[in-house]
Structure formats: structure tokens, C-alpha cells
Chains A and B, each alone.
Chain A
Amino acid sequence: DVKVTQSSRYLVKRTGEKVFLECVQDMDHENMFWYRQDPGLGLRLIYFSYDVKMKEKGDIPEGYSVSREKKERFSLILESASTNQTSMYLCASSATGTQFEAFFGQGTRLTVV
């Protein structure tokens, strides 16, 4: 069964902290994505990666960075967390050549206080 696992379901962090959100997929997918979900705004793409050590900015990359050292793992980094980064974060993966059907993790609800 297809599986995308996010390391935490809920996180509470303080303003200014460096925050790491981890995502692992077991499907050998080439493409991995980080989305942010806010009420009324749907899902907005932060960053994506189509290969190890490759990354591309999405629609809202400011305040975020990513790391993909291994094919199965894609990390989202908040360099200095701010209260406006309080949100639900969703990781997804897809295989090239499958009409980009994405498989999602359970989400991490991050609260920055």
C-alpha cells in the first residue's frame, strides 16, 4: 500500500525557532511536494523536488527552505518561525509518468506561538 509519512501530526513551536518538518515516502517516487493549507485558500505549493538534491520554488517559498538528500525523504525547514506560518502542512509524492497523481501524508498541524 502506498505510504507517505509525516514525522509529526501536531507541533507547537516558539517564534524565532528553527523548525524541521520531515516527510518519507516508500513508493520510490521521483517527485515530492510541500503544500500549506489554510481555510479558504486551499492548498498552496511551497516547494517541490523532482530528484535528489533538486528543488524548485512553488507559489509561496518565502520563509521556507527544503532539503532532499535521499530519494525517499523531503524536509521542509522554517528558518525562523513566525506566527503567520501557523498552518497545516501537507507533504505529497508522485511518480513521473503517472499523470502526476499525488499521494498525501496525514499532515502536520503547526502552531507558532
Chain B
Amino acid sequence: AQSVTQLGSHVSVSEGALVLLRCNYSSSVPPYLFWYVQYPNQGLQLLLKYTTGATLVKGINGFEAEFKKSETSFHLTKPSAHMSDAAEYFCAVSELGSARQLTFGSGTQLTVLP
């Protein structure tokens, strides 16, 4: 069975600082990995995804994530935080051959300080 752990339910960074949101997954087969962002009172929007191929994935709004199989991790980073990045971020996993749903982590609330 697949599962996702997001370390840190709340992360605060200063504007212009590095953003690092951590995600570790458990999967018995090669996973597909996703990061979604949720702004207040909104649905979820896809930031980026890893399926196959290049392990460093670039997404929207300057975010990127690196799939590290040996560490079962898919951490999300952004070199320089902007105030508009304040939101909740969810890591998710699905498995080739499984039922067609995503399994989500518990989310990380990102606060950007001026």
C-alpha cells in the first residue's frame, strides 16, 4: 500500500529565502509523485509531477522537486520565497497498476514573512 509523510505541518520562511517542503513516500512499485498547492478557500492546483525520466522536475511559479529513489523522497523547493507563495502544499503518490486514486500527505502550511 502506498503512503505519504510530510514532515512539518507548518513552515515559515522570510521573503526571498529558500523554501524547502519535505515529502517521503512508501510504495511497493515505481510511484508517480505530485505536489499540489491550495490557496485559501480554493481547490487544489497541480504544481508539478514526476512520472518517469528526469528526476528533477520543474513546475509552475518557480518550484521544483527531485525524486530520490534511494531516500524515497520528493522534496519541494523554491530558491526565493514570495509573499504569494503562502498556501498549503500537499504531496501525493499514485502507483502504476493500482486503483486510480491518489494518496495524499497531511499537508504543510507555508507562511512567508515580510
Contact = CB atoms under 8 A, between A and B. Distances in A.
Interface string B38-54: 00011111100101000
Pairs of residues from A and B, 9 with the lowest C-beta to C-beta distance, nearest first: A104-B43, A42-B106, A43-B104, A100-B94, A104-B44, A99-B51, A42-B104, A99-B32, A106-B43
Interface of A: 4, 9, 31, 33, 35, 40-45, 48, 50, 56, 58, 90, 92, 94, 96, 99-107, 109
Contacts, number: 61
Interface of B: 6, 9, 32, 34, 36, 41-46, 49, 51, 90, 94, 99-107
B45 A104 contact: yes
A107 B42 contact: yes
Given A40-B106, A42-B90, A48-B99, 9 more contacts: A4-B43, A42-B6, A90-B43, A99-B32, A99-B51, A99-B94, A101-B46, A104-B43, A107-B43
Contacts of A99: 32, 49, 51, 94
